[in-house]
């Protein structure tokens, strides 16, 4: 039996509001689309958390044996300053303010986005299309919606007629919004407004002569609406209906709701079987916001160069920290939480190090121990297959880490297991740490420096004990313990581990 058959995945579907067993459209293959960044500024930690969620989905489905086509777009045009189809294009505005070409802005921040995700050890997507690379297809979709009577043109702009669409389909089925309530709560149309209804959204916007990013179309020079690109690119590379569509919870409405409307209006069927959304980040219990002064970039988190940070934390520690919470839960940053994550990360890496040095020597077999270890392996898969629960996955890994330490000190013997079970234990222990959770050792030079410093302190402690200065010896041991370094005295000398 294959891993994906043995451990079927269940995930929470935003569309149906319940957890469902995942069944891919095509056997052994998965199509997944995730909304990528609008590249007009540095990537922030909220972005990182969202992309981490789907990096785990990508990695785990691959580990189970699926062939995953992961498409994540780059928005390089069409994202206006607010969701009412008003304001400047974010990239055009940035280009104007910095007196650069829009594509210079796109290039700069796309490069920065890739660099940050690489630091966090994210797998790159299978395909990374851009909105500007699919203008022709977007124009074709607009024309199709016009031909079907679900859109209308006004003064060179084209809008999606939500009220007309809602008579045949259900606008709001993803977000739970009611169209009557949206009509009542929306901003009143003024005499200059081109929309027929408050809830209508732009498919194509007319560009003024001063607008930098503009393309020719049947309705005159303009640029595509923000929602249009994802409908076009997802279905182009994954088919008219595909398996998984993801993004942050802030995209459920209006962005993803509009995507569904465009696809259903054009093709008469839902574009996605499973919708997944990650939750937001907070800092010390408050929403992360520039206006509150509690927003920081990944680089600041690594260096510690921020008033709210006591010190810097490595990318793998931050990744580990984010993995400790389920993707659908709010995640709160604090120095205390990051410090605890660092200790947990180091403990896990120490367990991996121990596991590499284990030698399997056959011994008298223990059926009870064999069953116990097999259950540990099962728990790893069961936890990740339960809506990609990385928090429970880490708990299962720490149980195995404890076992590794017991092997090291001789409390347990690997040889009482069958060779097959021992090999499976080591293979999946490493596989989940490296391949599924995407963790890796931090910079080796830093590790060597830490080893060197602690070795010096151990030597000073030994000298203190030899000189019968037991107070100093105990102080070195206790001070190291305070920062999570545990000294262990044995016949072969003193070793240390990270708690």
Pairing of strands 485-490, 493-498: antiparallel
Q: What tokens were used for 330? A: 């709010």
| Residue-level pLDDT at 191 | 44
| Phi and psi angles of residue 399, each rounded to the nearest 5 degrees, phi first | -65, -40
Angle at 397 between CA 396 and CA 402, to 5 degrees: 100
472, 479 contact by CB (below 8 A): no
Count of other CB atoms within 10 angstroms of residue 280: 16
| Residue-level pLDDT at 232 | 97
CA 8 and chain centroid, separation: 21
CA 304 and chain centroid, separation: 22
Q: What tokens were used for 441? A: 């050792």
| Residue-level pLDDT at 29 | 98
How far, in Å, CA of 209 to CA of 215, rounded? 11
256, 305 contact by CB (below 8 A): no
For 206, half-sphere exposure in the C-beta direction (CA atoms, 13 angstrom radius) is 11
Please enumerate in sequence order all residues whose Cβ is within 8 A of that of 91, keeping only pairs 6 or more positions apart, or say none: 38, 39, 40, 76, 77, 79, 102, 105, 106, 213
How far, in Å, CA of 222 to CA of 211, rounded? 9
Name residue 386's beta-bridge partners.
10
Give the sheet arrangement for strand 242-248, strand by strand. Answer: 67-72, 29-34, 242-248, 272-278
Residue 123, SS3 per DSSP: coil
Name residue 275's beta-bridge partners.
245
pTM of the prediction?
Answer: 0.86
134, 229 contact by CB (below 8 A): yes
Q: What tokens were used for 202? A: 């732009």
416, 363 contact by CB (below 8 A): yes
Q: Which segments of 244-389 does DSSP mark as H helices, in order?
A: 257-267, 298-303, 315-323, 335-357, 367-385
Element (H, E) at 13: strand 10-13
Rg for the chain, CA atoms, rounded: 27
Pairing of strands 151-154, 67-72: unpaired
Q: Which position has the token pair 């409908």?
A: 231
The distance between the two most distant Cα atoms of the chain, rounded to a whole number of Å, is 92
Run means of pLDDT, 10 residues per run, the chain, 499 residues: 96 98 98 94 88 98 98 86 67 82 90 96 98 96 98 96 95 92 68 81 90 91 93 97 96 96 96 97 78 78 87 95 96 92 96 95 94 98 98 98 95 95 98 98 62 82 86 87 79 66
| Residue-level pLDDT at 443 | 65
């Amino acid at each position: 039996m294959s891993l994906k058959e043995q451990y079927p995945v269940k995930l929470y579907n935003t569309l149906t509001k319940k957890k469902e067993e995942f069944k891919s459209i095509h056997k052994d293959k998965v199509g997944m689309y995730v909304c990528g960044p609008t590249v007009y500024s540095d990537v922030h930690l909220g972005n990182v958390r969202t992309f981490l969620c789907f990096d785990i989905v990508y990695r785990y489905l691959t580990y189970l044996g699926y062939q995953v086509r992961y498409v994540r777009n780059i928005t390089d045009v069409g994202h206006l300053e607010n969701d009412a189809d008003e304001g400047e294009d974010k990239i055009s505005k940035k280009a104007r303010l910095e007196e650069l070409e829009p594509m210079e802005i796109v290039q700069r921040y796309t490069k920065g986005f890739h660099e940050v995700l690489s630091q966090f050890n994210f797998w790159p997507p299978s395909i990374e299309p851009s909105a500007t690379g699919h203008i022709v297809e977007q124009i074709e979709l607009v024309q199709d919606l016009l031909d079907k009577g679900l859109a209308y043109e006004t003064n060179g702009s084209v809008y999606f007629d939500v009220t007309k669409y809602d008579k045949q389909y259900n606008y709001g089925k993803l977000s739970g919004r009611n169209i009557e309530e949206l009509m009542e709560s929306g901003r009143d149309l003024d005499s200059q407004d081109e929309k027929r209804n408050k809830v209508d959204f732009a498919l194509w916007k007319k560009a003024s002569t001063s607008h930098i990013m503009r393309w020719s179309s049947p309705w005159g020079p303009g640029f595509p609406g923000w929602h249009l690109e994802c409908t076009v690119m997802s279905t182009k590379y994954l088919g008219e209906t595909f398996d998984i569509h993801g993004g942050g919870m802030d995209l459920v409405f209006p962005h993803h709701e509009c995507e569904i409307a465009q696809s259903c209006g054009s093709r008469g069927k839902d574009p996605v079987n499973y919708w997944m959304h990650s939750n937001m980040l907070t800092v010390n219990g408050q929403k992360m916001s520039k206006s509150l002064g509690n927003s920081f970039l990944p680089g600041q988190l690594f260096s510690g160069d921020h008033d709210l940070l006591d010190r810097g934390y490595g990318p793998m520690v931050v990744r580990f920290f984010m993995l400790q919470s389920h993707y659908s839960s709010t995640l709160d940053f604090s120095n205390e939480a990051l410090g605890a994550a660092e200790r947990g990360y180091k403990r896990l890496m120490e367990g991996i190090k121990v596991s590499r040095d284990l030698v399997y020597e056959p011994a008298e077999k223990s059926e009870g121990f064999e069953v116990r270890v097999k259950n540990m392996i099962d728990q790893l898969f069961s936890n990740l297959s339960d809506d990609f629960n990385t928090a429970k996955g880490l708990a299962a890994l720490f149980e195995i880490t404890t076992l590794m330490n017991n092997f090291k000190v001789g409390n347990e013997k690997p040889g009482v297991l069958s060779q097959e079970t021992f090999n499976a234990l080591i293979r999946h222990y490493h596989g989940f740490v490296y391949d599924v959770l995407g963790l890796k050792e931090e910079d080796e030079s830093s590790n060597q420096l830490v080893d060197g410093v602690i070795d010096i302190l151990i030597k000073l402690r030994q000298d203190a004990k030899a000189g019968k200065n037991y107070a100093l010896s105990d102080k070195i041991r206790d001070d190291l313990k305070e920062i999570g370094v545990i000294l262990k005295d044995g016949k072969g000398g003193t070793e240390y581990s990270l708690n």
